[in-house]
Structure 1
Amino acid sequence: MSEIKTPNLLEVKNLKQYFDINMGFFRSKPLKAVDDVSFAIKKGETLGLVGESGCGKTTVGRTILHLYKPTGGEVWYNGKKLETKEDIQEFRKKATMVFQDPYS
């Protein structure tokens, strides 16, 4: 019996988000906020990104939504790489970041 392959709804490949930190007098140093993150989500699945404060959870979400331009890596939605402004805008209509309520 063969296994039925379900296509990925969202696939993140080697996502990187670096920020330049000004060290003064024309020097900067990269801060690796997100470094080589990969995962895939199939239709009907849910992903929870969990971690300590300051570990990059929000940065991953913002980079996937292209609110930050990724330093490296790829984001694919429904088998299509998110590259054009139109593709990104269409994806943003269907994707949402949900933040935890620390008081619940």
Structure 2
Amino acid sequence: MADDDDKPKKHTLDTLFMVYANYQVIPTEIENELFDSILLSQLDAWLEQAKLMPNPITRTQTGLIYMRYKKWRMEYEDFLEVLHQLSVDNDIPLDEFKQTMIDAGIPSGATDIVIVK
């Protein structure tokens, strides 16, 4: 079992959610602030990384769905609902949609080291 600790761990949807939620964040006065919710621009960046945007999913489509929540940042549970809605609207099986998001990996150009637990 000790050998398993040495192997690189793969990202899951929830760990990638945390990576994207903290990607391209404008620095604030608070040092080392970590976000556990995602902005629309970060969601769109993830969809682009997964090659799901601009086809079949558009920024207009994500924007309209995102606005239904009336929040600046979206928590993970709401994010899962958005993925479900996008998969239904675009006729993509939800499991396949989630796997595509996972396969996209971390944002290209990201320099932060992320520890997956």
Normalising by structure 1, we get a TM-score of: 0.30
Query: What TM-score comes out, normalization by structure 2 length?
Result: 0.28
> Structure 1 or 2: larger helix share?
2
Larger radius of gyration: 1
* Higher normalized contact order (CA 8 Å, seq sep 6+, divided by chain length): 2
Bigger proportion of residues as strand: 1
